[in-house]
């Protein structure tokens, strides 16, 4: 028993990482299978109608403005600030994680949208104009990949739980905004979150094996 506890304690980070990896993999595979078979997901429409039933002009304005933080402009702006910080601190491995995690998620989203070719919901007039396909949500993927990277960057600091809370709120509100605005189904959001978490974990595993150090300058 003591040996088992010692082994568990030694490898608990690997176990947690495995759980965080495989749960979203299973979720995405389940959702993707239903979408490919053109099967309706029973929770999609009821959830959206329940949200829309509480729509007001104030919430309309709020979510139209807030959703942009999960779009291209918002993610690029936040990412640019983090990039400057990482360059100043010479944290180049973390910079690779940021670029690979968020940039790769954007590429994956474009490919998946073309693969699944799912039309956006049309339950009520959209409050924002969107022309791409629905599955998975690009805003959900962008915000989740950025949030996951930020959590990893600050995980070894004393601010970890503050960062986890802020990243979680940011991701959830961005996802909710897409439902409120009528441009995504809940399954689009869940799929986007799942793919992003899996992708960022894979990039983190790769960058953890990179040992980049800047070359010394000046005379030896």
Q: What is the pLDDT of residues 131-189, one digit of tens each?
A: 899 999 999 999 999 999 999 999 888 999 999 999 999 999 999 999 999 999 999 99
Measure the CA–CA gap between 188 and 195, rounded to whole angstroms.
11
Query: Angle, to 10 degrees, between the axis of helix 2-10 and the axis of helix 12-36?
Result: 70
What is the per-residue pLDDT for 210? 64
pLDDT over 90 (residue 67): yes
What is the per-residue pLDDT for 2? 47
**Two tokens at 174?**
């961005």
> Mean pLDDT across the stretch 85-107?
93
pLDDT tens digits, one per residue of 69-90: 888 889 999 999 999 999 998 8
Percentage above 90 pLDDT, the chain = 63
Q: Which DSSP string corresponds to 43-65?
A: THHHHHHHHHTT--HHHHHHHHH
For residue 4, give the H/E element and its range. Answer: helix 2-10
- pLDDT tier for residue 121 given thresholds of 50, 70 and 90: very high
């Amino acid at each position: 028993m003591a040996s088992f506890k010692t082994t568990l304690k030694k490898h608990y980070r690997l176990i947690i990482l495995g759980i965080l990896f495989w749960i979203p993999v299973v979720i995405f595979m389940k959702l993707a299978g239903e979408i490919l078979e053109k099967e309706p997901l029973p929770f999609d429409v009821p959830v959206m109608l329940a949200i829309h039933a509480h729509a007001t002009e104030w919430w309309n304005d709020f979510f139209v403005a807030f959703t942009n933080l999960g779009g291209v402009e918002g993610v690029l702006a936040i990412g640019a600030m983090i990039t400057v910080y990482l360059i100043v601190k010479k944290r180049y491995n973390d910079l690779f994680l940021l670029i690979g995690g968020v940039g790769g998620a954007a590429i994956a989203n474009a490919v998946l949208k073309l693969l699944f070719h799912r039309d956006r919901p049309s339950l009520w007039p959209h409050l924002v104009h969107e022309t791409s396909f629905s599955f998975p949500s690009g805003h959900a993927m962008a915000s989740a990949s950025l949030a996951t990277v930020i959590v990893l960057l600050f995980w070894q600091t004393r601010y970890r739980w503050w960062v986890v809370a802020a990243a979680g709120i940011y991701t959830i509100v961005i996802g909710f905004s897409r439902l409120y605005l009528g441009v995504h189904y809940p399954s689009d959001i869940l799929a986007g979150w799942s793919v992003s978490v899996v992708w960022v974990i894979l990039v983190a595993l790769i960058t953890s094996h990179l040992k980049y150090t800047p070359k010394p300058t000046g005379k030896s």
